[in-house]
Amino acid sequence: MKFGRLMGVQLKIHPLLLLLAAAYFWLGLGREVLLVMAAVLLHELAHLAAARSLKVTVGEVELLPFGGQAKTEDFTGLEPDKETIIAIIGPACSLIVAAVFYFLAPYLSISKAGFFIKVNLLLGLFNLLPVLPLDGGRVLRAQLSRWLGYKKATARVAFLGQLMGVLLVAWGLYQAFYSMTGINILLAGTILFWAARRESQLLSYSFMRYLINKKGNLARNGLLPAQQYVSQPDTLVKSVLQVSSPTYYLLVVVINDHHQVEGIVSEAQLIECLLEKGPQAAVRDC
């Protein structure tokens, strides 16, 4: 469900989060719900600010019970260093906010300050877990992609997320026999499992949406502006894709050391090659 925009990015809220918020409001915990939402929005604002500073385009952000999930549309964002920085900024922001309020709380007459500190602390620490779709999982995926390629790294770290979701569901069921907090753990585990399973599909979906948009423009107009570049076979694919843009189609003419044409590589081939073989993939690999 869409409910607004943040820094020019569409914000969505998961239906389960809406149900949880409504339930807690009904239980008289409306102030706590607002503080949780504020903590999550601060967390995501940090991600968006980092992405914008690195010139990585984020299409939309979906708010979940344990944080948010950003969908990137800029494939230069698949560089491990960029993804690591963007991912780690969110938990860092949450932990910094928790620390600031912890030290300022004795001097501030703010009700629920302790609750806000706890929420930010849990949000920061939980998102550091090395499983997708959490931020720690994005860092792990970024590092694994250097050797495995982005697709394989995504599949493996997403599996860890599903495993973590199953463990949380089991723990939540056990705790539910003793206290209501078990229900929160159960729901968090369910959402984590679902989001981790969906994570492995998001990359292919975004890739297809990116190219289908260009194919749609080509079908409607009968032609599409193209930008042609000349490249050597050893040039890194990620360097070539730095010049890609949604407004034109990228074609790369590959020449050898004798300046003879070895072939033409399309934008779709370059992106697929980067996803399959990782950031060290060269044009010759396509």
Which residue numbers are catalytic? 44
Are the C-beta atoms of residues 127 and 94 closer than 8 Å to each other?
A: yes
Cα separation of 250 and 265, whole Å?
9
Which residue is listed with tokens 């980067």?
274
Looking at beta carbons, which pairs linking 225-230 to residues 24 or more positions away fall under 8 Å?
A: 225/249, 226/250, 226/251, 227/251, 228/252, 228/253, 229/253, 230/255
Longest Cα–Cα distance of the chain, Å, equals 75
Number of C-beta neighbours around residue 134 at 10 A: 28
Cα separation of 129 and 157, whole Å?
11
- DSSP assignment string, 2-51: EEEEETTEEEEE-HHHHHHHHHHHHTT-HHHHHHHHHHHHHHHHHHHHHH
